[in-house]
Amino acid sequence: MKSDTIIDAIVGVTAKWAKQRKQEERNASAWLNRRDRLTRSRRVTAKNAVGMYAESAWLKASGDGALPASCRQIYYAIREAVADLTGKELNYGYFSQLLAEHVDEHDLDWDVVYDARGDFVEPHTGRRVPLGTLQVRQYLDNAECYQLPEAVPGFHLDTGFPTDGPSHRFGALLFIEKQGFDPLIKSARIAERFDIAIASTKGMSTTAMRRLAQSICGDGVPLLVMHDFDISGMVIAGTLQNDTRRFRFDREFPVIDIGLRLADIDGLGREKVAIEPKARDAHIATLRRYGATEDEIDFLVKGRERVELNAMSSPKMINFIERKLEEHGVRKVVPDQATLHLAATRAAKIARLQQVIRREQAREDIDIAIPDDLEEQVRAMLIADPTIPWDDAVVRVMGGEATKNRQGGG
């Protein structure tokens, strides 16, 4: 056989692989598609695979159903098993659709937290509901259980000590570079148990977040930054106190990095990332500037890997936050003696006023005259001032003064 015939045969056999390899050389992330391109036969579909492993992934992510789990946490728990079955990487967007369909089809009561996409706002009360799974479910449950109030209001004076900002209320600010963990953190009552304020954004901190941090941090109130273990996360932690073109800090305050680091990622799912060869040196210099170790640089840049906060199950996430807060001395707030004495005096006076209110509520000899044309008067007031709700109009008809601040909780 002639040499050129042999060469042609080899080229013909390896052409498919060579084409894929050239794509990988041009795009570092294309290696993820090699298995799919070269191994077209799959044993099961992604939908079937998700159906097979959804329950075990949910239980793992949620701590056997004890805590809410985000859709992305469940994705991290299931994606490797699905890829092994299908021979193809599972796309998160497609998975979120498959999971929602699986939950609906089997009428499951899993507390899966999907990303909120917008808000629902009530008129007059100002009650705002993020359009996420748990938030909408809670709102609808409350609406379904609604009952007309008693004629005599169960009125109680607010016994809480009024505050604005950190003074006498919280001792630290936790910034999370991811949104979507609010239901989980609420269920564990992290904010209440540690007296810590919590803020989150999608990725890099905004100008508003920087202004907030500068205004309330300092004077014993540190900013703790929780982030993914990746290049962007290290940059977020390192630059949160640095000036930008849109905002310049005019004072320093303590910033503590409590994000994922190399020592924290044992047992957590890793993700490959694409890094342009020409950007490697710049990434290495940036990571060194912001305190990354050489081993961490090797993992992130040379290894081209990352680990997201979402890779942690809900119990592991709560344990991680608690451990980091305890390590850095975040604890309950107790004000100074003068403030304690003021609060005690105020509490005693409120207790006496509440006794008077309860006595008035118990009276049955109060003669209340309700106008025969109540509805007509209410409608007339709404025509005169369409911005008020019907219950404010009733208050005015009965000679009262409507509450100015009607906004309720979400």
133-185, pLDDT tens digit by residue? 777 878 888 888 888 777 666 677 788 898 988 999 999 999 998 888 888 99
Q: What pLDDT is attached to residue 357? A: 84
> Could you tell me the pLDDT band of residue 362, with boundaries at 50, 70 and 90?
confident
Rounded-to-5 percentages of helix, strand, coil across the chain: 50, 10, 40
82-97: b (≥16 Cβ within 10 Å) or e: bbebbbbbbeeeebbe
Residue 209 CA to residue 241 CA, distance in Å, equals 11
Residue of 287, 221, 278, 291 whose CA lies nearest to 251: 221
CA angle 313, 287, 209 (to 5 degrees): 65
Helices (H), 109-249: 133-144, 182-188, 190-194, 207-216, 231-239
Residue 119 CA to residue 139 CA, distance in Å, equals 12
Q: Which of 2-11, 181-190, 203-212, 396-405 has the lowest mean pLDDT?
A: 2-11
pLDDT tens for residues 296-324? 999 999 999 999 999 999 999 999 999 99
What is the chain's Cα-based Rg? 29
CB atoms within 10 A of CB 48: 15
Q: Which DSSP category does 399 fall into? A: T
Residue 274 CA to residue 140 CA, distance in Å, equals 43
Q: What pLDDT is attached to residue 8? A: 57
Note whether 333 and 195 are within 8 A (CB). Answer: yes
> Could you tell me the pLDDT band of residue 409, with boundaries at 50, 70 and 90?
very low
Question: Which of 250-254, 322-326, 371-375 has the highest average model confidence (pLDDT)?
Answer: 322-326
Can you tell me which residue has the tokens 């047992």?
A: 267
Mean pLDDT of 108-118: 83
Q: What is the mean pLDDT of the chain?
A: 84
Note whether 61 and 12 are within 8 A (CB). Answer: no
Mean pLDDT of 200-221: 81
pTM above 0.75, yes or no: no
Residue of 174, 180, 212, 175 whose CA lies nearest to 194: 174
First-to-last alpha carbon distance for the chain, in angstroms, is: 80
Mean pLDDT of 326-333: 95
What percentage of the chain exceeds 70 in pLDDT? 84
Q: What pLDDT is attached to residue 24? A: 54
CA-to-CA dists, residue 349 to 160, 277, 334, 343, angstroms: 13, 70, 21, 10
Who wins on pLDDT, 401 or 126?
Answer: 126
Mean pLDDT of 15-29: 57
